[in-house]
Chain A
Amino acid sequence: MFKKLKEKLQGFFKENEEYVKQSVKEPTKIEKKPEEEQIKEQILKQTIEKVQEAEKKQDGLFKGMKKKFGLIKINQKKLNEITEKLEVLLLENNVALEVSDEIKEKIKQEIQDKEISKREFSEKIREIIKQTIKEILVEPFDLIEKIKQYKNQNPDKPFIIVFFGINGSGKTTTIAKIAALLQKNNLSCTLAASDTFRAASIEQLEKHAKNLNLRTIKHDYGADPAAVAFDAIKHAQAHKLDVVLIDTAGRMHTKGDLLREMEKIVRVTKPNLKIFVGESITGNDATEQAKKFNESIEIDAIILSKADIDEKGGTALSVGQITNKPIIYLGTGQNYTDLEPFNKEKLIERLGL
């Protein structure tokens, strides 16, 4: 994950630097040239070619002046070129359109028609992108720390986490991974098989429980998911278990009834955490999914699964921006240990920002 986005971003910065280097010698004539075609890749190529062309017949006086001041002013046209190029790059990497619009807007506000020292130009854009990503992503909290704190304050009450998401996003697998993580940190837990709809969902959770030596609280298929969860909580209270992990059926955010069922589960269980499990390969729909779930039950945190399939990583930005909720973990494989804490600073570092 993020490998692709990083590569692309690096290329983008390099091109900006090139542009600055060349624009130092660039006479203003260039700016008056007729409108170019909109194909983004070509634009840059053409500009560079033109700059090089112009370089040959450059005016010595001009060069001197520019050098003296060391400033360049980014006019609207050039700015559009830069932002459009950045947009394509972001979109190609699964960043949703709304999010890329926000980044674009920020850059425009910051540098349009302003005199910027040429040395700072590339740095400035890099800074803006970095800042925007920082703002988009909420600082993740430490799940284990949070549970331990709660345990100290409420020794008799279990910490309740419910997992939601669309069909096949990896809720059950993620729950198993979280359960393994809790065990590693000496926290006891029980699983609630509240997915009473999908065939063999209960068996799936039970098998995980068996592997991890845990108890699954279950009813039959077709039972009320909220009732199953309620029983699991009672079980945890009776046995003084620290955490209850509630697995729910995958649901489309377009189905009103299923969203209301989910609201009921929340009403009955009063969870300490509502976690949305999303896929990191989802495209523009990621925003729609996260938005609808957030509107319906107000999620507290996000886990992105299948991060090992995709090297793009833009979905993290999309989901983070739209919900304004922290991404706490990334699912990175099929083993119980394939759960990576999401680290904002590290991500920014990994993107080479």
Chain B
Amino acid sequence: MLKGLGSALKKATDKIAGAIFIDQKLIDSVATDLQRALIQADIDIKLVSELTNKIREAGKSKIKGIEKKEQLIKFLHDEIQALIGKEKQELKLSKKDKILFIGLYGTGKTTTIAKLAKYYKKRGKGVALLGLDVHRPAAPEQLEQLGKQIEVPVFIDKQEKDPIKIYEKLKTQIEKYDLVLIDSAGRAALEKSLITEIKNISKTIKPTHTLLVLAADIGQTAKKQIQTFKESCNINGVIITRMDSSAKAGGALTACAETKAPIYFIGTGEHMQDIETFNPKNFISRILGIGDLETLIEKVKSATDEKKQKQIQKRAEKGELSLLDVVEQSKSLGNMGGLDKIKSLIPGFGAIGNKIPERILDDQEKKVKKWEHIVKSMTPEEIKTPELLEKQTSRISRIAKGSGTTTTEIRSLLKQYKILKDLVKSGKNMSDMADLSQGLSQKQIMKLAKKFGKKKMMRF
């Protein structure tokens, strides 16, 4: 995600920092590089030329030496920050909310709604889904199936073709929920009949929020779409989806900043947990490879089960850590959306992370699944004290046969067990030991990143 833009920014900063003289030539080359990177990130051409002109202007200032370098680098960061937006904007919900989702065809409205329902359900809201997409075939079914998956009630009418009538019919039933997420049909901002329809829906429902769902790979059309939707439908926020593609999302992000439409969430994958709140500042540090601890901790918190974590910790303190705990622990990592999702969040991982091929990260998730099978082929004794296996290696080949895995896979599980044990041990000794259930502490994460990185590096 946004790798190209991040590396271009880093290159520009390095160029300035590494230069002996800051002359017009250097500034020009930095500006040209940056211009290309920004254009490739789909950022509005006018904004790009404004920015590069500003940089050229800033390069002319009379300050000399190191101060000028610092000033230029800071200037660069500030300008990019201004492009993407500064403050994190939170979607403020009251006790009863109705959120209407609109957007172009195929941007991921329905998927986003289900993700958000899961997100808010985890945070204790009584959530319901209402399907008003009467145009696309099987749209109600899609919502229905997703609702089943995340265990959230879904209100749809498969026969009725008038969204307003559907709403009138289901109105009383949805009233008792804290948060109703409303799906609507995909539409182009320039299509009059569909815009009138959504206006009427909006008038009848009176949603507390209307959110526009936008795909990250939208090109130079982004601004126009946002503006038109803003004018016609009164949207008060944006969710950007498909952030996991190679798209630079520059068009969508900057268009939002420009039209002052706050971005509340970003969608980062096709699974239900793949949604994050959007914080422009952290986002920039993430694309620059600095990491984003805040989001990571939030993810860890929402993915891990507090009770289970406390149990694991207690057992670990007593020296009773079992293999089941290891599997549980690794699974919750999977709940965060897999390692490739969180690697950009870990500080210091950016540099190592790029060296790990995607394939390996995919494999990691599969590995965890195999671990489950392995544990199921073990005797209760072996699960409790895995050290047994190291003493009697014949047990390993028995388990391998029983679970349909290889001995290497079993050994990798044992290794993981050791790492977790060490981690808990070292955590105990640390003065600032964090409660595992409160998420991992910064130090622990760094350590984990180091360990993980090392292990992978050794393989290559």
Q: Chain A interface (Cβ within 8 Å of chain B)? A: 37-40, 88, 91-94, 96-97, 166-170, 173, 197-201, 203-208, 211, 221, 252-257, 279, 281-286, 288-289, 292, 306, 308-310, 312, 314-315, 334
- Bound together, the chains give a CA A315 to CA B42 distance in angstroms of 12
Asked if A253 and B188 make an inter-chain contact with CB atoms under 8 angstroms apart, the answer reads no
- Bound together, the chains give a CA A63 to CA B217 distance in angstroms of 52
Is B388 interfacial (CB 8 A cutoff)?
Answer: no
- A166-B242 contact given A38-B53, A204-B137, A282-B217, CB 8 Å threshold: yes
Which among A166, A167, A284 is the interface contact of B42 at CB below 8 angstroms? A284
Query: How far apart are B331's CB and chain A's nearest CB, in angstroms?
Result: 19
Which among A92, A254, A279 is the interface contact of B45 at CB below 8 angstroms? A92
Asked if A208 and B248 make an inter-chain contact with CB atoms under 8 angstroms apart, the answer reads no
Residues of A within 8 A of B40 (CB): 96-97, 284
Give 8 closest A-B pairs by Cβ, nearest first: A283-B219, A168-B106, A200-B142, A207-B137, A204-B138, A283-B42, A203-B138, A200-B141
Which among B45, B190, B242, B359 is the interface contact of A91 at CB below 8 angstroms? B45
Is B251 interfacial (CB 8 A cutoff)?
Answer: yes
- Bound together, the chains give a CA A198 to CA B141 distance in angstroms of 11
Is B244 interfacial (CB 8 A cutoff)?
Answer: yes
- Bound together, the chains give a CA A101 to CA B341 distance in angstroms of 34
- Bound together, the chains give a CA A199 to CA B244 distance in angstroms of 19
Most buried by A among B52, B107, B221, B359: B221
Asked if A281 and B108 make an inter-chain contact with CB atoms under 8 angstroms apart, the answer reads no
Most buried by A among B56, B137, B359, B362: B137
Asked if B146 and A199 make an inter-chain contact with CB atoms under 8 angstroms apart, the answer reads yes
> Which B residues from 201 to 245 make CB contacts under 8 A with A?
215-222, 242, 244-245
Is B49 interfacial (CB 8 A cutoff)?
Answer: yes
Is B87 interfacial (CB 8 A cutoff)?
Answer: no
Residue of A nearest to B218 (CB): A281
Q: Chain B interface (Cβ within 8 Å of chain A)? A: 36, 39-42, 45, 49, 52-53, 56, 104-108, 110-111, 114, 135-139, 141-146, 149, 188, 190-191, 215-222, 242, 244-248, 251, 270, 358-359, 362
Residue of A nearest to B44 (CB): A92
Asked if A257 and B49 make an inter-chain contact with CB atoms under 8 angstroms apart, the answer reads no
- Bound together, the chains give a CA A213 to CA B265 distance in angstroms of 41
- Bound together, the chains give a CA A208 to CA B135 distance in angstroms of 12
- Bound together, the chains give a CA A107 to CA B222 distance in angstroms of 30
Most buried by A among B145, B217, B242, B270: B217
Asked if B217 and A309 make an inter-chain contact with CB atoms under 8 angstroms apart, the answer reads no
- Bound together, the chains give a CA A315 to CA B139 distance in angstroms of 28
Residue of A nearest to B216 (CB): A285
Residues of A within 8 A of B45 (CB): 88, 91-92
Asked if B149 and A252 make an inter-chain contact with CB atoms under 8 angstroms apart, the answer reads no
Asked if B190 and A309 make an inter-chain contact with CB atoms under 8 angstroms apart, the answer reads yes
- A94-B39 contact given A199-B146, A281-B104, A285-B248, CB 8 Å threshold: no
- Bound together, the chains give a CA A199 to CA B183 distance in angstroms of 14
14 A-B pairs in the complex with CB atoms less than 8 angstroms apart:
A38-B56, A91-B220, A97-B40, A199-B145, A200-B144, A205-B138, A252-B245, A283-B219, A283-B221, A283-B222, A288-B246, A306-B188, A309-B104, A309-B105
